[in-house]
Structure 1
Amino acid sequence: MLLNLSYNDKQIKEKTEVEVGKAFGIKERFKMGGIGSPKIFITDSSTEINNLLILDNNINSGSIELRPGGIILRFRSLLETYGLIIPWYKLVIYKSNASEYTIYRDRYFVKIKGGSRLNVFIKKLLELKADNSPANFDDPQK
Structure 2
Amino acid sequence: MLFHVSYSNKEDTRKIDSTLGKPFSIMQRLKMGGIGSPKLVMLDASLQITNLMNLDNNRNVCNIELRPKGIIIGFRSGLDPYALIIPYHKLVVYKGSPEDYSIYMDNYFVKIQARDKDQDVHQFMKKLLKAKIESGNGSVEDV
* TM-score (norm: length of structure 1): 0.92
Asked if the contact 1:99/1:116 (under 8 Å) is kept, the reply is: no
Corresponding residue for 1:120? Answer: 123
1:20-47: per-residue Cα shift (whole Å, max 9, x none)?
0110000000000000001001010000
The CA distance in 2 between the partners of 1:4 and 1:133, in whole Å, is 29
The CA RMSD measured in Å over matched residues stands at 1.3
Partner SS, residue 83 of structure 2: strand
Q: 1:15 to 1:61 in 2, by over 3 A?
A: same
What amino acid is aligned across from residue 58 of structure 1 in structure 2?
A: N
Alignment of 1:10-25 (within 5 A): 10-25=10-25
Corresponding residue for 2:105? Answer: 105
* TM-score (norm: length of structure 2): 0.92
The CA distance in 2 between the partners of 1:134 and 1:37, in whole Å, is 21
Count of residue pairs brought into register by the alignment: 136
Find runs of 4+ consecutive structure 1 residues off by over 2 angstroms.
none
1:87-137: per-residue Cα shift (whole Å, max 9, x none)?
00000000011131000010000001132211000000100100001589x
Corresponding residue for 1:76? Answer: 76
Corresponding residue for 1:88? Answer: 88
Matched, 1:133 2:136: yes
The CA distance in 1 between the partners of 2:13 and 2:52, in whole Å, is 21
What amino acid is aligned across from residue 24 of structure 2 in structure 1?
A: F
Matched, 1:27 2:30: no
The CA distance in 2 between the partners of 1:123 and 1:86, in whole Å, is 17
**Which 5+ residue runs of structure 1 have no aligned equivalent?**
137-142
What amino acid is aligned across from residue 36 of structure 2 in structure 1?
A: G
Q: Percent identity?
A: 49
How far is the alpha carbon of 1:57 from its aligned partner? 0.1
Asked if the contact 1:21/1:67 (under 8 Å) is kept, the reply is: yes
The CA distance in 1 between the partners of 2:3 and 2:138, in whole Å, is 29
**Which 5+ residue runs of structure 2 have no aligned equivalent?**
none
Partner SS, residue 48 of structure 1: helix
